[in-house]
Structure 1
Amino acid sequence: MFGQVMSVVLSFLGISAFAKDKEGKSFMLSTQKEQLKNKYGDKFLTEFEKDLAEFEKSGKAAEEAVTDEVRAQLEADRDKNAKDLEEAREKIKALDATIVEKDAEIAKMAKEDTGDKGVVINGGAADMTKKFKPDMTLAHNMYLDAAFKGAAYSGNSTIETTELQKEFGKYVSSERIEIIKGLLGTTESTSYMSTVVTDKVEIRAQQAAIDSVLQQFVPKWTPKGKSKFTPLTIKNYKCKINVPITPSDIMEDILGYLYDENLKPEDMPVVKYILYQLIFPKLDEEREIALAVGEFKETSATQDGDAATAANDVLDGYVTQLRKFKKAGNTAITWLLDGVTLEDAKLIEQIDKAVDEVAPLYKRKTMFIHADPELVTKYSKAYRKVYPWLKNEDGEKIKVDFSRFTFAPLEGMRGTGVFFITPKENFKHLRSKDPQNTKVWMQGENYDVKIFAEWWEAVGFWLAEAIFAYLPPEEAEGSSASGGL
């Protein structure tokens, strides 16, 4: 190894041998040391001088370390390195040619209309939200991309509704399942219901509640366990949204959202913003109230442009259905505290009495007391007033003492004064069986776009005997009191 280093040093300094002192030992001139130091550094110079002195201890001259074998090895290494360098240069040249070719192909594709018609997703794919990519050659996407990067957009700033409609169709096609989930997202109240998937206009319970089976033995057939139940009809309702939007008016809002969420335009298309930031949040809010206190009313609209129905006119909510059952004199339902007005001073006692009125068969079940949030707040304050030393370890989960029932305040019931108890399997939420029946589309018109969506949805109860409900006396007498936000 020292022979190879020695050969390199001699070659670098341009000499065939070092100067010798009186004892015949090699030494380097100050200029030679400076050259090696500048080329290889202080450490190399120090180590080389140490190795040089060590080699000459045996009486050999330093130049003898450079043998014919060392020269042959160095020449072989030089040839190999030259060959490797030439091959590397050829590879770099080929890569440069490939890059030029791909750049030309990309430039050509950017000028062509994309033929992508979207990918239909049937659900279950973990990466289905990654299937859609916005067409960045469209005017609205180029405008957002330029603004997002802080560049000035020199093109036409007017949004072509035909382009937006085309992209909307692609997005709906590839993200259909996610959009349907957004339309029929779980609201506060539906999380307490069991879902029935059906395409029927109405459904009725087919199962029975057996009242008793145990009896004393006698060697005769004495049938017992007569099914006793009152099936309730749950009507399904067709719902829709018709939302007009002027895209040019919301471009700045979209850009602000991209900045806030740190998303690039290609990761957050305009159509996704319109659906998830403008439409779905308002829809969830209105669905929650309509599912509780909505009351279906036939629309009088007969032509385009007629007044739309109110959100609460779309379907019969579960509170509305309880009011109708009470008015119709349905005695299969247990009407808690019938005719009693709730009072703050007696609220704890009254709720305890209501819980006691639940049928024994259901008292052992863990159930929720679905209630007006204001009523739950009053109960909490009354309880704290009576038992100020007790701490609510469960936070907002307020359980009635000596029962398996916990309050579940539902925002859609606010202001109704109503509460009811029923098992989750008896509290139903209907939605369409076939997601393809849920339609979502867009139409362009001048500078505006119209968003359309249609689906089936309803709520209701399965068996009357499993409902234990309280209605304020004024409602029981047919008052038109209504709740909601």
Structure 2
Amino acid sequence: MDVSAIIQEYGAYYLNSGQNMARLKRLLLFGRETVKNATPIKTNDTVYQMGSSYIDSIVQPFQKTYTPKGNPLFKPNPIYLYHMKVDMDIWPDDIEATWLGFLAANNLSRKEWPLIRYLLEVHVFDQIENDMEMKLYYKGQFQAPTPGTAGDTEDSMNGLKYLLENKPVNRINIGTLDIATIYDQIEYGYEQVAEEYQNVPMVVGLSPKWRRAFLKDKRALGYYQHTNPGQIDDTLDFSPAKVTGFPSMIGTDDIWITPVKNLIHLTKKGENAGNMKLEESKRCVSFLTDWWEGLGFGLNEVVWTTVEEATPPTP
């Protein structure tokens, strides 16, 4: 816990001048917006073993001779869950002789101090949500941790961008995104979706910046008889597709399209992410929780994206 800037500005002492939690502000944090658009599945497995089945054409002209035709094909499609955790140590005494002293207490049990409740209610749980959305659901790339060393948040699981780069999905090309033409670009990308899926409810995923540009371009086209901005929706004309801006994709120019039910969110012990075990050792309070989580596509063959395929490593 770093209170050095507070001490430098306000001094290494507590003076009650009416300060309270209302004077403590934090930056904007995001919730788990990406998985709100996914099909939730709870499982006790650490690898959710899915599969796809196919059969080629079997109808043929009649003849008396028996002529078998047709070859069923089954393919595996595992979706991995990743074990992640929160470990954090807090030394509450660090704040007692500072401007933050109103979060201290006379209780010998430091985990009963207002500071601990404040951190849990205002920061810890919301930070978990923000980490999952902003660093993992789209941009995460799993790396095994170095034993005994805290790992980077981004290393905790493979996110959607990694899957789009490495799974056998369909590649589409709509050129460099342009705020002046993005409506037509997304419509052109949708035309590259297999025709049999163009009447299926679809999600078109992109960053919030590009979703807003899409709506502005739709307005600028000029052939809509709208009386207010609220009538300009996020649908593509003549299709059941919905253009959705994901905070997890902020900073990217990527687009992906898939049926609404095809994005799958897996959790094991997922409720643990909303619970925290507090342990007190001497005057240190430790925050601990862990859970399993993963994202994937039920059928990779019905995903279309502008994300380029990952370059294989050089032998």
TM-score, normalised via structure 1 length: 0.48
Q: Which residue number in structure 2 is paired with residue 299 of structure 1?
A: 145
- The 5-angstrom pairing of residues 26-65 of structure 1 reads none
The CA deviation at 1:299 is 1.5
The CA deviation at 1:412 is 0.5
The CA deviation at 1:436 is 8.3
Q: Which residue number in structure 2 is paired with residue 365 of structure 1?
A: 200
Q: Which residue number in structure 1 is paired with residue 110 of structure 2?
A: none
* Greater mean deviation of Cα atoms: 273-282 or 358-367: 273-282
SS in 2 for 1:283: helix
1:320 to 159, 162, 180: 162
Shift in alpha-carbon separation, 1:437–1:315, aligned structure 2, 3 A? closer
The CA deviation at 1:311 is 1.3
The CA RMSD measured in Å over matched residues stands at 3.8
| 1:404-452 per-position Cα deviation (integer Å, ceiling 9, x unaligned) | 1011100000111111111233211111169689984222234320101
Shift in alpha-carbon separation, 1:452–1:415, aligned structure 2, 3 A? same
Q: Which residue number in structure 2 is paired with residue 466 of structure 1?
A: 302
* Greater helix content: 1
- The 5-angstrom pairing of residues 277-292 of structure 1 reads 277-289=122-134, 290-292=136-138
Distance in 2, matches of 1:254 and 1:219, equals: 89
Distance in 1, matches of 2:123 and 2:92, equals: 12
Shift in alpha-carbon separation, 1:368–1:448, aligned structure 2, 3 A? same
Please say if 1:275 is aligned against 2:117.
Answer: no
Q: Which residue number in structure 1 is paired with residue 44 of structure 2?
A: 199
1:399 to 214, 235, 245: 235
Distance in 1, matches of 2:178 and 2:282, equals: 58
Distance in 2, matches of 1:373 and 1:388, equals: 24
Aligned partners of 1:438 and 1:454 also within 8 Å: no
Distance in 2, matches of 1:455 and 1:477, equals: 29
Q: Which residue number in structure 2 is paired with residue 421 of structure 1?
A: 257
- The 5-angstrom pairing of residues 12-91 of structure 1 reads none
Gap regions ≥5 residues in structure 1:
1-146, 148-184, 256-268, 479-485
SS in 2 for 1:421: strand
The CA deviation at 1:229 is 6.7
Aligned partners of 1:371 and 1:413 also within 8 Å: yes
Aligned partners of 2:47 and 2:81 also within 8 Å: yes
| 1:327-367 per-position Cα deviation (integer Å, ceiling 9, x unaligned) | xxx3xx221227x3333343222211111111122211112
The CA deviation at 1:322 is 0.7
1:447 to 249, 271, 283: 283
Shift in alpha-carbon separation, 1:439–1:405, aligned structure 2, 3 A? closer
* Greater strand content: 2
Q: Which residue number in structure 2 is paired with residue 347 of structure 1?
A: 182
| 1:127-155 per-position Cα deviation (integer Å, ceiling 9, x unaligned) | xxxxxxxxxxxxxxxxxxxx9xxxxxxxx
Please say if 1:382 is aligned against 2:224.
Answer: no
Distance in 2, matches of 1:210 and 1:251, equals: 70
Shift in alpha-carbon separation, 1:272–1:218, aligned structure 2, 3 A? farther
SS in 1 for 2:53: coil
Please say if 1:189 is aligned against 2:34.
Answer: yes
The CA deviation at 1:380 is 2.1
Aligned partners of 2:52 and 2:77 also within 8 Å: no
Distance in 2, matches of 1:393 and 1:219, equals: 63
Shift in alpha-carbon separation, 1:413–1:223, aligned structure 2, 3 A? farther
The CA deviation at 1:457 is 0.8
Q: Which residue number in structure 2 is paired with residue 104 of structure 1?
A: none
Distance in 2, matches of 1:433 and 1:209, equals: 34
Equivalent residue letter for 2:220: K
The CA deviation at 1:397 is 4.2
The CA deviation at 1:377 is 2.0
Please say if 1:412 is aligned against 2:254.
Answer: no
The CA deviation at 1:315 is 0.6
Shift in alpha-carbon separation, 1:198–1:446, aligned structure 2, 3 A? same
The CA deviation at 1:203 is 2.4
Aligned partners of 2:273 and 2:289 also within 8 Å: no
Gap regions ≥5 residues in structure 2:
1-15, 17-29, 106-113
Equivalent residue letter for 1:372: S
Distance in 1, matches of 2:79 and 2:273, equals: 20
Q: Percentage identity across aligned positions?
A: 24
Shift in alpha-carbon separation, 1:272–1:197, aligned structure 2, 3 A? same
Distance in 2, matches of 1:451 and 1:352, equals: 48
Equivalent residue letter for 2:78: T
SS in 2 for 1:296: coil
Aligned partners of 2:125 and 2:273 also within 8 Å: no
The CA deviation at 1:222 is 7.3
1:310 to 146, 152, 160: 152
